[in-house]
Amino acid sequence: MNKLIGIVASVGSDERKIVEYLGPELVPGGWWLSGYWGVFEANWTEGALSLISDGTNGFLVKGTFWEVGKSYRVTFAADRVAGTIYGPFINTPGGSLSVTGTITYDYIPLTTSMSIYSSGFDGALTALSVKKILKREEDE
């Protein structure tokens, strides 16, 4: 179990310490291989440790991934030429990148399937990490 400690400043001089406990990595090595995904649309191809999109629209879908209603910490990274990549979500985007970089966010899924969507994305998805947030404590 991973333990993260952060200090969050709030209004005035009041600060709160947040302690989070994260579960193990849920995305296995080999996530960039077409066989990992239930849906691997034609715009995606396997790269060396990455997934490459050709600049057209298309989904990657992994069925039965999320536990509905639980909290997850999602991180993904992309090398971008054009377009936007929407990170692990279903129904509404959890996060998106329209520049080269990395995004980390918390996500509570509504269904069990995980999707990644290319909206004219020309580039590579270079990293994908998902960990369940097991516990979050806040001290005042």
The predicted pLDDT at position 3 comes to 53
The predicted pLDDT at position 11 comes to 47
Would you give per-residue pLDDT tens digits along the chain (140 residues)? 555 554 444 545 666 677 788 899 999 999 999 999 999 999 999 999 999 999 999 999 998 899 999 999 988 888 999 998 887 765 455 577 788 888 888 888 888 988 889 999 999 999 999 999 998 777 65
* DSSP conformational letter for 26: -
The predicted pLDDT at position 7 comes to 46
The predicted pLDDT at position 96 comes to 76
The predicted pLDDT at position 94 comes to 59
Question: What are the domain boundaries of the chain?
Answer: 26-131
Cα-based distances in Å from 81 to 7, 49, 78: 35, 18, 10
> What does the block give as tokens for 68?
């509905």
| Cβ 44 vs Cβ 52: under 8 Å | yes
What is the spatial distance between Cα 71 and Cα 99, in angstroms, rounded to a whole number? Answer: 26
26-131 CATH fold = Jelly Rolls (2.60.120)
Instruction: Tally the residues of the chain.
Output: 140
| Cβ 71 vs Cβ 133: under 8 Å | yes
